[in-house]
Amino acid sequence: MENHIYKAGKKTAKNNVIGALLASPPLIGLLLFTAVPLVFSLLLSFSGLKGFDVSDMRFLPAGELFANYKTVLAHGLFWKSLLNTLYAAAALPLSIVLALLLAQLLNQKLRGKKIFRTLYFIPFVCSIIALTQMWRMLLNTQYGILNEFFGAFGIAKINWLGDSKYFMPSMIVMGVWQTIGFNFILLSAALTNVNPGYGEAAKVDGAGAWTRFWRITLPALTPTLFYLLVMGLIASLQEFTRFQAINQTVPGGPDNAGLTVVYYMYRMSFEQNITYGMGPANAAAWLLTAVVMLITFLNFRLSKKWVSYD
Amino acid sequence: MTETAAKKRRGRVSRAVKSTFSYAVLAAFALAFLIPFYIILITSFKATNRLATSTPFVWLPAFRDLGWDGYRNLFTEYTVTKTGASMVLTGVKNTFLVAVPVVFVGMLASCVSAYAFAKIDFRLKKTMFGALLFSMMLPGIVLLIPSFVIFDFLYLTDTFFPLIVPAMFGSAAGVFFLRQFFSGIPDELLDAGRIDGMGHARIFLQIMIPLSLPAILAQAVLGFIACYNDYLNPLIYLRQEEKYTLQIALQMFSGGNMTHLPTVMAGAVLALIPTIAVYLVAQKYFVAGITMSGLKA
């Protein structure tokens, strides 16, 4: 009686072929547009290619095989861009904490809940180019609303995007503003999945709201917080668009305060490839990959101490 | 008696305090999100640059100080040198030329693949799915320069090819999400279809797709927004003005000069309208799409 109709659930010879065939398009894409460039990037990082013409590509002599990596590691600007990128990533924890606050506040019976939810998420769907133009206006020294707001408290006008001291804090504020919505949506969904029974039981036992949040709600949210942290870090270590678009008069910001690692790579390969070119740019790409992988690994390692999956 | 009454009253008072506090915080954040949008919207309608850049900021300009100049400039002042066409309209056209095949063909590829992963048992399944999952953890930026060199070698830079074709193979994230959804559709339904003599094609088109429309729509909306807002890829691949997508066009003419603020802001407003509109209309699917791919990971 073992049905002969439902064959799709069995590893028949026919299914082995049809299944693999139907499943394959994204994998073919992965092979052609991810695996091939990935290997090629590694090769380029050991080559002396400056421009884009592959026929000029020569590998570095065996003795100097790591010359590109040495060049990048000895380049002060690379380290600066790495520090800038890590500094900019400070937006992530801020964004997550504020999103958690909003999600927790909206996880109660309130009128107009839906409007708040809708509103908080809007910046996340917006074009980053449009948002950088918006923030350039908000942060403008002369007529920006931020200086007008602070001026009301007697604070002198600040050149937010033109002063290397204030450039990154401005970008962090913008980053938090832009990403709160995403973190908020995921945390809200996770909050509705927290079993209310535990909270009720703790309440009967006399636990206050604060204790209940720390002991019951927060542990239940740790898998989501971990996901947001891992994915958010991978994304913020690769930031580029905002930083390239925000300051066109001084690319990279005053004193390169806004030069991220990806921007550094872009500069080496597309803007200054006469001096540097593909070799150092790809070496920088792999160094960044190593940093991303190291941080992700540490994240998973540390997660055993604070993430609870029950 | 009196003691319990007092307790009850205290409870009511504290609840009132709590909800007032909640509203205050929620409203403060709501304003922080709304005010910037209001500022660019009202600025885009201000008649003169002097009014737009005046201090203090004019929140409610008189009716006679409002005008369409920003929008008129946006469409007429910036033209593609070669064709004489409006740069913004050209950008809109190009953006859709790229986004339509990416969203439709890419979604179809992701759906078919997800169907196989969810409903067919085959030998290489685990390996293939593992490879897809692994690719999601890779920092995509490593691919930027080598891809450019390869496409340049194939004479495909300054065309839409690198923006469209790789995305037409579907995305790992899309497959991952849709597989999750497809797995939830009971096998009995598929069995019933097979009894009626349906093959994979008809089961896919007549059972899976109709039952999964919300999930597919969620992914399509996400895909459209990502494609519409993409900046880095068009920036490196497109060189001639007549090929610029909207994001590049906007950045090119208003990135450097802020000479006429209402025009720049009109450009920003225009760029924001499509994705915000799609989001508001398809909000339900959109939020479901985000939370499902995030929580099940």
Question: pLDDT band at residue A8, thresholds of 50, 70 and 90?
Answer: low
Nearest to A5 among B132, B150, B195 (CB): B195
Q: CB–CB of A190 and B295 under 8 A?
A: yes
Determine the pLDDT at residue A10: 63
Mean pLDDT, residues B119-148: 90
Whether the per-residue pLDDT at A88 is higher than 50: the answer is yes
Round to whole Å and give the CA distance between A141 and A129.
20
Instruction: Decide which of B37 and B82 is more confident.
Output: B37
Determine the pLDDT at residue B3: 63
Chain A positions in Cβ-Cβ contact with residue B290 (cut-off 8 Å): 182, 185-186
| Nearest-Cα residue of chain B relative to residue A262 | B141
| Nearest-Cα residue of chain B relative to residue A286 | B142
* Interface mutation target, options A5, A21, A30, chain B, most CBs of B under 10 Å: A30
Round to whole Å and give the CA distance between A72 and A288.
11
Whether the per-residue pLDDT at B296 is higher than 50: the answer is no
Instruction: Decide which of B165 and B17 is more confident.
Output: B165
Question: pLDDT band at residue A126, thresholds of 50, 70 and 90?
Answer: very high
| Nearest-Cα residue of chain B relative to residue A43 | B146
Mean pLDDT, residues A232-247: 92
Mean pLDDT, residues A107-115: 87
Determine the pLDDT at residue A194: 82
Question: pLDDT band at residue B169, thresholds of 50, 70 and 90?
Answer: very high
Q: CB–CB of A133 and B265 under 8 A?
A: yes
Chain B positions in Cβ-Cβ contact with residue A28 (cut-off 8 Å): 169
Determine the pLDDT at residue B253: 76
Chain A positions in Cβ-Cβ contact with residue B135 (cut-off 8 Å): 30, 34
Chain B positions in Cβ-Cβ contact with residue A299 (cut-off 8 Å): none
Name the token pair of A69.
């990596």
* Interface mutation target, options B122, B126, B175, B179, chain A, most CBs of A under 10 Å: B122
Backbone angles phi, psi at B139, to 5 degrees: -70, 110
Class of domain A76-306: mainly alpha
pLDDT in tens, B78-130: 888 888 888 999 999 999 999 999 999 999 999 999 999 999 999 889 999 99
Of A101-115, A267-281, B7-21, B265-279, the range with the lowest mean pLDDT is B7-21
Name the token pair of B162.
């690198």
Rounded to a whole number, what is the largest CA-CA distance in chain B?
88
pLDDT in tens, A283-294: 999 999 999 999
Determine the pLDDT at residue A300: 92
Closest C-alpha among B157, B216, B80, B38 to residue A54: B157
Q: CB–CB of B287 and A185 under 8 A?
A: yes
Q: CB–CB of A8 and B287 under 8 A?
A: no
Whether the per-residue pLDDT at A5 is higher than 90: the answer is no
* Percent of chain B residues topping a pLDDT of 70: 94
Across chain A, what does the average pLDDT equal?
90
| ipTM > 0.85, yes or no | yes
Whether the per-residue pLDDT at B193 is higher than 80: the answer is yes
Determine the pLDDT at residue B2: 61
Q: Is the dihedral of CA B73, B77, B78, B80 positive or negative?
A: positive
Q: CB–CB of B55 and A182 under 8 A?
A: no
Question: What does CATH list as the number for B78-295?
Answer: 1.10.3720.10
Nearest to B149 among A21, A54, A186 (CB): A54
Q: CB–CB of B122 and A18 under 8 A?
A: yes
Chain A positions in Cβ-Cβ contact with residue B53 (cut-off 8 Å): 142-143
Instruction: Decide which of B169 and A109 is more confident.
Output: B169
CA distances from A70 to A46, A49, A52, A165, B285 (A): 11, 16, 22, 30, 49
Q: A63 to chain B nearest CA, in Å? A: 24
pLDDT in tens, A141-153: 999 999 999 999 9
Per-residue DSSP letter, A194: S
- CA A76 to chain CA centroid, nearest Å: 24
pLDDT in tens, A162-196: 999 999 999 999 999 999 999 999 999 899 888 77
Determine the pLDDT at residue B285: 82
**Angle at Cα A265 formed by Cα A263 and Cα A266, nearest 5°?**
60
Determine the pLDDT at residue A180: 96
Report how many Cβ contacts below 8 Å link chain A to chain B: 306
Chain A positions in Cβ-Cβ contact with residue B172 (cut-off 8 Å): 26, 30
Of A107-116, B148-157, B203-212, the range with the lowest mean pLDDT is A107-116
Determine the pLDDT at residue A4: 44
Determine the pLDDT at residue B29: 96
Determine the pLDDT at residue A2: 41
Determine the pLDDT at residue B214: 84
* Percent of chain A residues topping a pLDDT of 90: 67
Backbone angles phi, psi at B62, to 5 degrees: -65, 155
Question: pLDDT band at residue B256, thresholds of 50, 70 and 90?
Answer: low
Round to whole Å and give the CA distance between B23 and B19.
6
Chain B positions in Cβ-Cβ contact with residue A309 (cut-off 8 Å): none
Mean pLDDT, residues A233-247: 92
Determine the pLDDT at residue B288: 78
Q: B255 to chain A nearest CA, in Å? A: 6
Round to whole Å and give the CA distance between A121 and A269.
35
Determine the pLDDT at residue A63: 86
Determine the pLDDT at residue A87: 96
Per-residue DSSP letter, A47: B
Chain B positions in Cβ-Cβ contact with residue A269 (cut-off 8 Å): 145, 148
Closest C-alpha among B104, B78, B90, B85 to residue B238: B90
* Interface mutation target, options A31, A50, A125, A261, chain B, most CBs of B under 10 Å: A125
Determine the pLDDT at residue B297: 38
| Nearest-Cα residue of chain A relative to residue B124 | A20
Question: pLDDT band at residue A11, thresholds of 50, 70 and 90?
Answer: low
Question: pLDDT band at residue B279, thresholds of 50, 70 and 90?
Answer: very high
Intervals of CATH 1.10.3720.10 along chain B: 78-295
Whether the per-residue pLDDT at A216 is higher than 60: the answer is yes
User: Long-range contacts: B158-163, Cβ < 8 Å, 24+?
Assistant: B158/B237, B158/B238, B158/B239, B158/B240, B158/B243, B159/B237, B159/B243, B160/B94, B160/B97, B160/B98, B160/B243, B162/B233, B162/B237, B163/B98, B163/B102, B163/B230, B163/B233, B163/B234, B163/B237, B163/B238, B163/B245
Chain A positions in Cβ-Cβ contact with residue B146 (cut-off 8 Å): 37-38, 40-41, 44, 282
| Nearest-Cα residue of chain B relative to residue A189 | B291
